[in-house]
Amino acid sequence: MPSAFAWMGGTFVAIFVAIVLTTAIRRLLPMLEAALGLSMFAMGCALHLSGFFAGAGPWPVFLIVAVSHAVAGLAIRQRERIRGI
């Protein structure tokens, strides 16, 4: 049970980091897709190089990066749609 809470907490932190990183990169690159791609690359490299998922192979890193950036992209797009940008 504690490992499930750790995964949930890690996912929420990854979503927050993805939103912040994508928003920061988007100030340099105006296209959302380009900012999301660069953010995914940076976050994936950072997680891989940190060795946090060293024994599990590449799939946990892929899943956490893909899910967090999917939620971040939806949140940013929804915010823009509401604001009318």
Across the chain, what does the average pLDDT equal?
A: 86
**Number of domains present in the structure of the chain:** 1
- Which domain, by its residues, includes 22? 2-83
Tell me the average pLDDT across 54-68: 85
Residue 46 tokens read as: 């950072």
pTM of the model: 0.81
Q: Are 61 and 47 in contact (CB under 8 A)?
A: yes
Length of the chain: 85
pLDDT tens column, 11-59: 888 888 999 999 999 999 989 899 999 999 999 898 888 887 777 788 8
